[in-house]
Amino acid sequence: MVCAHPPIFLLLLLTLTINAKAPPTLDNLWDNTAYFKPYTSFALNQQGFESVNAGTKVVVVNHTWYLFGRHDAPPTTNCTQGTISINVRKSIDSGKTWGMMKTIIQPDQVVSCMFADGSAFFDPATMTWHYLVQVLNVGGKGGWMLSHFTFNSTQDPTVGIQVWVPNPNNPVVKGGELFNQICGNGKHCQRGMVDEGTPQIVEKRDDGFYVTFHGYDYVRKKAARGIARTLDFIHWQVNGGELPNDVIFSHEDCSGWNVPWGGVGGCIGSGQASILRTSNYVYEVIEATDMELTCDTDWNEQWWPLGLVRSTGYVASPGWTQMDHLQTPFVGGPKGDEPHVGCSIQYNDLHVDGQGSTYFSFWDVSFHPLNKSTPFQTWHLYSLVWGSGVLPMAWPGPAQIAPPPPLRVPTQKFQFTTSLHGGQIQHNASHFQKVLQFNNELGAVGVRMDLFWHDIQPNGTSTVDESKVHFYRSFYEQASRNGGAGSIVILGGAPSWAIALYKSNATAFFVSWETYLQHAIQIIGNSTVLGWQLWNEMNHVPSGWINGDARSVCKIFSMAGEVIRTSGSNVTRYVNAMADDIVKIDHMIPWEQAVSGWLTCAGDAIDGIGIDHYPGTWSVVKPLDYKNWSPLQMLLTRVNNKSDLWYGKIPAVLETGFSSWSTLVASEQNQARWCNVSLQAVFDVAYDSEHLKNETYRTLSLVNMYQLIDQAKKGGSGVTPPEELHFGVIRSDWSKKEGFGVLAKAMHRLGRGSN
């Protein structure tokens, strides 16, 4: 019998048939007959991939890939939290390399500060690009909102001078506008959800564009994903047709994932997401988290994985079908090697190319790398290929390492005080006991309060406001009787008439200044004073006023110091300087330069130097680093250097704290975390073991918390930045924030308390 071989043409036909097999879809991924295979990756600011660090979205048009993303930039005069712009670049080799980026949307810093996470969509029917993006205006006015831009696609969006046209109705969605319609009784979110953000323009259908977006309820600490429809990005519908008139993802959808959720209520819900339709299902890859919807970058605090769910349409939560429990989450979680650190996985995106191949991308972010030279974050791109895979997908970032444990309970400690303005308690003496009781609970030794010149002599030197004199005298007396505690007294706060007098007759001004000082000494009387502060932040006085005249500043300090000395008081006389160069403005003198100038001409009147430093709120250098205490390191170095003009002065932190104003990516929970992390960092700097081997080393003795009570219920008004009003650990209604208890523990652990 002769054994025949298959004809060559049959083998060729079989090969062509295999190669012609259609690309897999997400249906095949769900059935585990396809998996996402690493395709390529780009590290942050890698050559050829500069100026994109978040919010990435790929759109394919005529086989050309367009990558849209955001670029974060440092703070400016009007935008104290930084600026964010949107750019685009293209690839003609399916994402393997990318061309030059072009900025397409940027804030004017007059109205807008941040155009952050957004979504691009190309409409071939009208040859128009759409970009829907979350926006934050100057001062956070209005909170997070959504704005819309368009571009005529007869031109390549990555070249030329044609600009993206803003919708004349921007912002097209104001904060809470859509969730106010979506949420309510019987729904899977409650009224109060706001901050429509991370939008995705999913698709255009006959009845309009379908758009999804996340929201957050700051009171209940719940997050959800909503959906709405629009024909023009101005008028929106949340019900009718395929819309569920409810959120499409809530905390109920992620509570059963194979993740040991932390916090009080486990998974709180969702943030950013990417939706893709196949011929059979709607698939959604969505991030979920615990604790709250801001990044907790501390070790072993917060999970931030990606999940995969599907449905036959846009059904209400919790109607989406989940993957098998052991396969959850889709990316990350404990079985996916995700670091237990918030926001380690960010900005996922699904897209399909011109050949029908499916791609998936996201960023890894490395907050605690074992090797400090590894990239901080990397954009990973995967392609869907035939075969079986393992779920959850693994976090692809570099090896991480737990930070060193905090120092043991210190044997050396410094004193804590808290700040209070008389206006915060309406100059009402009946509130004193509340203030002092809160201070005692915290473990503070006293209160730092202004003895405002403009309160004592609001109309001139000939009269005093006796009601204010009584208020201040009563407060200082009660503070002295409060278990041996006392006060740091701030002298200054010139009334408008005194400022005008200085500009017209400086000699008369200084006569008036001395009169006020004598009144202040009389008001204090025999009350316990922990320290005197000569004016406040004289390097940060409004332009056109006194800080431009060094001789006058020195005279103010010298006169105040002498009046205090001759009164018989021998406690520390401090000057303080704002050590955070918040913005480059004409009335901010660099703090080291200012202090050196003051000591040159008024050194005999100055016993101590205080810095005002707010890592996490005002600090421009590493603004999100709660442990950034470089100004304190500099202060301690200089007061211990025998050849330095600063040598021998008493170092202090006269203002520090964290604003819990939520619109600026902060919260009361962030504030609580700050109280623990940042104050421990103060101790680590102040009581460095190598320095303390020197018995003459002068280290920190005082830390003042700014401040005890919020100045407003919500937001702000006028020229006062709203974040300035929310540094308290007590709300303006006298209720305690979460940070109160954490601060109390920190004060008792690190401080020499009054109890």
Look at 4 and 449; give whichever has higher pLDDT.
449
Mean pLDDT of 5-26: 61
What is the SS3 assignment for 117? strand
| b/e code 81-99 from CB counts within 10 Å (16+ = b) | bbbbbbbbbbbeebbeebb
**Residue given tokens 């072993």 in the structure block:** 300
Cα-to-chain-centroid distance, residue 506 = 43
d(CA 729, CA 740): 5
Terminal-residue alpha carbon distance, the chain: 105
* Least confidently predicted of 103-112, 228-237, 387-396, 459-468: 459-468
CA atoms within 13 A on the CB side of 440: 14
Closest-CA residue to 364 (of 35, 37, 44): 44
What is the residue whose two structure tokens read 């309060």?
449
pLDDT at site 17:
46
pLDDT in tens, 506-530: 999 999 999 999 999 999 998 889 9
Q: Which two tokens stand for residue 587?
A: 């009335």
Do 157 and 100 touch, CB atoms closer than 8 A?
no
Is the per-residue pLDDT at 265 higher than 50? yes
Residue with the two structure tokens 């500069």? 50
Closest among 692, 753, 44 to 363, alpha carbons compared:
44
- Return the sign of the alpha-carbon dihedral for residues 47, 52, 53, 59: negative
pLDDT at position 481: 80
Q: What's the pLDDT at 20?
A: 62
CB 362 within 8 A of CB 273: no
Query: DSSP letter string over 260-325?
Result: ---TTTSEEEEEEEEEEE-SS-EEEEEEEEES-SS---STTS----EEEEEESS-PPTT-SEEPPG
Triad 177, 181, 275: Cα angle to 5°:
85
Given a cut of 90, whether residue 625 has pLDDT beyond it is no
Regarding beta strands 112-123 and 573-578, do their DSSP bridges make them parallel or antiparallel, or are they unpaired?
unpaired
Per-domain boundaries in the chain? 58-172, 175-403, 415-750
pLDDT tens for 350-369 read: 999 999 999 999 999 999 99
Rg (alpha carbons) of the chain, rounded to whole number: 30
Q: What is the pLDDT of residue 461?
A: 83
Tens digit of pLDDT for each residue in 678-729?
A: 999 999 898 876 666 677 788 888 999 998 999 865 544 444 567 788 899 9
Closest CA to 272 of 262, 260, 287: 287
- Contact 702/414 with Cβ under 8 angstroms? yes
Residue 750 is predicted with a pLDDT of 87
Q: Does 3.30.499.10 match the CATH number of domain 415-750?
A: no
Domain 175-403 fold? Tachylectin-2; Chain A (2.115.10)
